[in-house]
Structure 1
């Protein structure tokens, strides 16, 4: 464990003006506060915050951060409070400690909820001061170094999984590479010990059989760069076991097929020398296609800049080389800590000024937007993992602005990355000047133009193909808000008719009197629950008017099928589909594909609202003994005019040339649009198919059926 004077000397070595008295006071304070507390290893507990402070001093953090590292567990594990820290060490340190402190006193529902809530608080705190995150990561790194002292295997695995899912991506985002690799390796050892042991054994075998191959290759590269007249420092090492395993998994290859398990770093004086070194190496050794990446001209979001290339190098070995300036190397080693120090000293890295300004924290702003759109901590954690845990592609706006997106992103992801409003109003996209579907996967270097409309709103279907957490969170937020409105509107209609049929009125006063009975806050909550199918209209009626239950007992309830047969569309008692958006409060059954003009009926589905069926749909037999779920529904012609609905037909065609072309031509000439086509059987003479056609109503579909029956290529056709 680091002694008090050693820590002070380390801090003053890079920050001569550091407050020595405050550092000494914090060291003594944490020793006294933790007293006789012990860690799982048996060491005094205060050894942990001292080691955390040492890790922070390795990254040359400022005095306030070092003090925070010493005090970060005092509020959570001792009697010390934030006001105590504020009084003794000042508001800056108190704010940092508060940001790092876990919400251990909250009574949360599960470990996952607790983890998500702690992460939400961490994001909020680090958005105010990124040093909160650096201290938290140092805390996690030292805890991982002592993970093996925890006796319970399940607890070790849980901590390792949490580290891999949350803290490793965060460390990568702020660019502290050595911490990231160590966290990955320790977590890998716990989560997959057999795989790690196998890789380590193979690396040791290669080292024994090949001698000091890394040093020989390094010396050859150094000599080549010296001959080119460059002042370059070359270093090399084998890749870490987890890095090798991840590449094996990603490329689905075995260890024997890996040929670039060695990585070398070339550090030069200027950006011009970076490209001179690249030319010298490519001139001497053959480049490996597809292994070149220029992060100097296109920096990573965390500010990392280097040229990466793969070559068949000395001794005919395939190696990876990173080329960077000394200033870039410092940022690569220290990450955001380097940017913080520049901010404090007023000496920014001139090479990166302008090219990475603001970009290193863009990911943090996006996390805050996800937080705003998430429905709760667990939702936020899910979207955040999606946002951070992926490779990247670089996409340009028409004006040349650069956006880094996860691999697999589509134009909708890009639209939300530019601005939430653009994503919400996105109607179409042009990629490299060509109009493409919104679900098109974007590639590195694509230029994307988003077409918007004020009338457009996010489609629930977008959630099926977007990959960024921000896009998914925004879409879900819109869907939640609209679904709520739809459920309230539908629930009000259902209650009005149910109360009216029983001789009562569903007044707001009547509903307010029973809100506590249904654990609701207001009458609107009850209406939404009825529309969603979580509460039946009959239960609400009985709660509001207990006498209604007795009246109903006196009557003989009709059988469900009889009730269906007695429905009269002209009676005016049906609930019209007015202003209800499909896939929100209402859903069209895929078993019968109801169309405007069909006689329809609704089935209340718990948590989904109402599913609309044709009156003659055989599926309705499954609900014959559940009359409370049947709902009299009618089309509102004004609301459906101009909308497209999907109808399905089954056709048997002659197996001869031109038959399929004739069928699709007939459908097109009658204004139908084929949305899906599936062959169900085929013989020497005939083939049968199901065809989904977008039409405006049942009449149009019937016209298409009549036209198809007149075709010489069609043996039979009917509505499916």
Structure 2
């Protein structure tokens, strides 16, 4: 790291500049004596943090000033909260005690600082998110909701300035933020902060997707702005004509909400049409608010055709967090659905600043939903027997409809897809745990392996050394990881059993004086209508083919031998293909439904999902999947046309496929470290092998990696090409295989 050059005078000037900006932000709420109290808190924070710096190298005092400014400007909190925000790290990071705080600022400030100090350790670097810690954080609501609001301001500033943190810390903070802080901001009505927290989390957790959506939004910005101008102009004219003073504008949807829609509907960015919403903010009096909102609604729906199923009336029945607004969706001039949100200035302030604005307008508001919600939390917390996990549902933690969050007994957080079972959870913990799982305790109650988990469940896996994966497990697990591990275990188990069957069959054929060779094994497989010799060995080991069956085969052997060899093989191939193809198609589907089909991915070309592929029926090794541009493809198709089957991939998720990359370029110090960092850290891709040779400053290397599909591979190649010194990255095939 480069040495920091510090200009103390410039820093002092900047600190004062930021402090004055803070005072301007809270000017409207300041009363007599408030400014003096804020100055005292600022001086104490400045002295306490004088020798401390952030990861960026900036003076630490920048952080508490920024948190105080967010509390004042973006949440609308008053003097007490601003003082607490300035002092929120003083007790934890310095020798200053709560007694000192109380002596200088009184009991109320000391109590809030105490609450902030207690929850600062909730997510320490050595622990995962725990339900009990979630409960601990909410306990502060029972005392003073400002603790949570200041904590949200603290988290928002940390997220805004996270680029200097190590990658693992970025991911940890982002995960906590999207799981706990963003939903909490939503529940408290802080929609702008909630959206920013989600976007910032995504920026670090889904970096490429975030940048891609951001880039595409910028590309169409001018086009969207023109559409909004054309859309709102008629509305503005009619509103003014009817004496309604209103601000009408377009508001872009957050990147996170766009990504959520893309995931939920499985559509690309280009098919997300509601990239913005129109807001109408009416300047109204308390007694005219409702009628003015409905007047504006009438004007909008006279100009544009509404979708009657998309009207949301939170003016008559506000949300529990105080949110009031009329939402409708109308057909725009170009046949595009547009969301329109109608609210008054008061309603908008509550929508933007949530809880704090709610209290400001409390006397004139008839809504008490937010008060009831806070009261409910307090009542729940008074009960010492209440399970901390019971809070999860009340806070609607499942932001993503297709994801749930599950806790281990020690409080670690595991993310799974919707409808995941106890067995999926076990495999997510570890392959061996999943393979030996016999049941689970969900929230301390015994449940079967197939039990569908709910968001916030705490799961303890029960295992037995006598357990092994069963084929029927594939009927209820949903994660790709669990399915892949079960299939792999079943194949391995079948292989072991088949090995025993091979020895048994060899002995039995010897006693019947039948030569043990590949030709006779092939004939036996055909006779018993089996797709491979492995199935033959397996059935012998399981006792499904006994000596009596073999004698019956022997009696018909001569008839079989009279058939042409090619004809026998063609018949057997057709029989096999009929058993593996789908009913309405002549195409072999590779993927989710392949657990009962004996197939392998050919080593000669290492196909991965996204490649054009075909199946080749081997004599004793099931079906091999090859790429259509495989070096062996032409030979196989020319000589064994009847053994070729059309094939394509089904949806693959999280399964790993081996492929090779050849990398060339100019040799550089630390090159291998840079390449492995991209592969292992940035892409979380497992490597099987890496070899790099260097000659006269030029290097050539080959890397065998496990990827999910062609898109995953293309993204990896693109990233590797950006490494300094790398001139080319190409996928390569493995060895030429013999047809069998």
Q: 1:212 to 1:12 in 2, by over 3 A?
A: same
Q: Which residue of 2 aligns with 1:100?
A: 116
- Cα offset for 1:224? 3.6
Q: 1:148 to 1:407 in 2, by over 3 A?
A: closer
Deviation per CA, 1:73-104: give whole Å up to 9, x if none: 01111111111111111110000011111467
SS in 2 for 1:267: strand
C-alpha contact (below 8 Å) 2:320/2:370 kept by paired residues: no
Do structure 1's residue 232 and structure 2's residue 253 form an aligned pair?
A: no
Q: Which residue of 2 aligns with 1:69?
A: 85
C-alpha contact (below 8 Å) 1:383/1:468 kept by paired residues: no
SS in 1 for 2:369: coil
Do structure 1's residue 264 and structure 2's residue 292 form an aligned pair?
A: no
SS in 1 for 2:220: helix
- Cα offset for 1:256? 2.3
Q: Which residue of 1 aligns with 2:43?
A: 28
2:313 aligns with one of 285, 291, 294: 294
- Cα offset for 1:339? 2.4
1:155 aligns with one of 154, 166, 169: 169
Whole-Å separation in 2 of the counterparts to 1:104 and 1:332: 27
C-alpha contact (below 8 Å) 1:214/1:237 kept by paired residues: no
Q: Which residue of 2 aligns with 1:190?
A: 204
Q: Which residue of 2 aligns with 1:682?
A: none
- Cα offset for 1:359? 3.6
C-alpha contact (below 8 Å) 1:288/1:312 kept by paired residues: yes
SS in 1 for 2:318: coil
Do structure 1's residue 364 and structure 2's residue 377 form an aligned pair?
A: yes
Do structure 1's residue 384 and structure 2's residue 384 form an aligned pair?
A: no
Whole-Å separation in 2 of the counterparts to 1:105 and 1:461: 34
C-alpha contact (below 8 Å) 1:307/1:324 kept by paired residues: yes
Q: Which residue of 1 aligns with 2:266?
A: 252
C-alpha contact (below 8 Å) 2:171/2:205 kept by paired residues: yes
Unmatched segments (≥5 aa) in structure 2:
1-14, 404-443, 465-740
Whole-Å separation in 1 of the counterparts to 2:360 and 2:33: 13
Whole-Å separation in 1 of the counterparts to 2:382 and 2:402: 20
Moved more, 103-112 or 156-165: 103-112
Map 1:513-552 onto structure 2 (within 5 A): none
Whole-Å separation in 1 of the counterparts to 2:453 and 2:175: 25
Whole-Å separation in 2 of the counterparts to 1:140 and 1:391: 18
Q: Which residue of 1 aligns with 2:217?
A: 203
Q: Which residue of 2 aligns with 1:659?
A: none
Unmatched segments (≥5 aa) in structure 1:
343-347, 375-379, 393-405, 409-457, 481-531, 535-720
Do structure 1's residue 177 and structure 2's residue 191 form an aligned pair?
A: yes
Q: 1:264 to 1:362 in 2, by over 3 A?
A: farther
1:276 aligns with one of 290, 295, 305: 295
- Cα offset for 1:35? 1.6
Deviation per CA, 1:449-505: give whole Å up to 9, x if none: xxxxxxxxx997899689686xx79xx9xxx9xxxxxxxxxxxxxxxxxxxxxxxxx
Whole-Å separation in 2 of the counterparts to 1:211 and 1:107: 42
Q: 1:381 to 1:201 in 2, by over 3 A?
A: farther
Whole-Å separation in 2 of the counterparts to 1:237 and 1:108: 37
Between Structure 1 and Structure 2, how many residues are aligned?
403
Deviation per CA, 1:634-689: give whole Å up to 9, x if none: xxxxxxxxxxxxxxxxxxxxxxxxxxxxxxxxxxxxxxxxxxxxxxxxxxxxxxxx
Q: 1:100 to 1:288 in 2, by over 3 A?
A: same
Map 1:624-635 onto structure 2 (within 5 A): none
Q: 1:160 to 1:207 in 2, by over 3 A?
A: same
Do structure 1's residue 353 and structure 2's residue 366 form an aligned pair?
A: yes
- Cα offset for 1:257? 2.2
- Cα offset for 1:25? 0.6
C-alpha contact (below 8 Å) 2:246/2:281 kept by paired residues: yes
- Cα offset for 1:8? 3.2
C-alpha contact (below 8 Å) 1:176/1:334 kept by paired residues: yes
Q: 1:80 to 1:391 in 2, by over 3 A?
A: closer
Q: 1:107 to 1:328 in 2, by over 3 A?
A: closer
Deviation per CA, 1:396-455: give whole Å up to 9, x if none: xxxxxxxxxx999xxxxxxxxxxxxxxxxxxxxxxxxxxxxxxxxxxxxxxxxxxxxxxx
C-alpha contact (below 8 Å) 2:325/2:343 kept by paired residues: yes
Whole-Å separation in 1 of the counterparts to 2:316 and 2:447: 37
Do structure 1's residue 373 and structure 2's residue 373 form an aligned pair?
A: no
2:346 aligns with one of 327, 332, 350: 327
C-alpha contact (below 8 Å) 1:286/1:312 kept by paired residues: yes
C-alpha contact (below 8 Å) 1:53/1:66 kept by paired residues: yes
Q: Which residue of 2 aligns with 1:129?
A: 144
Deviation per CA, 1:254-292: give whole Å up to 9, x if none: 222222112111122211111111122112211135322
SS in 2 for 1:323: strand
- Cα offset for 1:334? 1.2
Moved more, 278-287 or 158-167: 278-287
Q: 1:212 to 1:7 in 2, by over 3 A?
A: same
Moved more, 201-210 or 170-179: 201-210
SS in 2 for 1:310: strand
C-alpha contact (below 8 Å) 2:135/2:391 kept by paired residues: no
SS in 2 for 1:324: strand
